[in-house]
């Protein structure tokens, strides 16, 4: 149980275009999902907290207009990288928390974004 999927697993896009990444909790409902960014050989950096039915909470230094997060249902959150630049190339990982009382995060397999 507690499986989180991400789609796509990897994507290549051209500079200036937008790309959407989906995060789904497959067998549980997730009121809260998190989006992380990971550079090669580095740790995970929390980008934002996504709450179903409300606006995402972004960490300091993360551009909310560039990284659009939508948590439209209890099983789906999306991250859209708008007007992508090569420096946005990274590994993006989401996680989901079952219910509202749980503290344990279940992680997706990640999406590798390459902007050319």
Q: How far is the CB of 16 from other proteins (least distance, A)?
A: 26
What count of other Cβ atoms lies within 10 Å of the Cβ of residue 53?
9
Place of tokens 């989901």: 96
Among 15, 17, 18, 42, binds other proteins (CB under 8 A): 42
Residue 28, both tokens: 């549980």
Three-state DSSP class for residue 87: helix
Check residue 21 for interaction with other proteins (CB under 8 A): no
Pick between residue 16 and residue 99 the one whose CB is nearest to other proteins.
Answer: 99
Check residue 44 for interaction with other proteins (CB under 8 A): yes
Check residue 28 for interaction with other proteins (CB under 8 A): no
**Can you say how many angstroms the Cα of residue 98 is from the centroid of all Cα atoms in its chain?**
16
């Amino acid at each position: 149980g507690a499986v989180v999927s991400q789609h796509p697993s990897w994507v290549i896009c051209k500079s200036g275009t937008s790309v959407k990444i989906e995060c789904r909790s497959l067998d549980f409902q997730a009121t809260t999902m998190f989006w992380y960014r990971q550079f090669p050989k580095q740790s995970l950096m929390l980008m934002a907290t996504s709450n179903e039915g409300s606006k995402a909470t972004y960490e300091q230094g993360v551009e909310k207009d560039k990284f659009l997060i939508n948590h439209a249902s209890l099983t789906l959150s999306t991250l859209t990288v708008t007007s992508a630049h090569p420096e946005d190339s990274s590994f993006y990982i989401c996680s989901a928390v079952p219910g509202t009382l749980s503290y344990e995060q279940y992680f997706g397999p990640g999406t590798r974004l390459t902007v050319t």
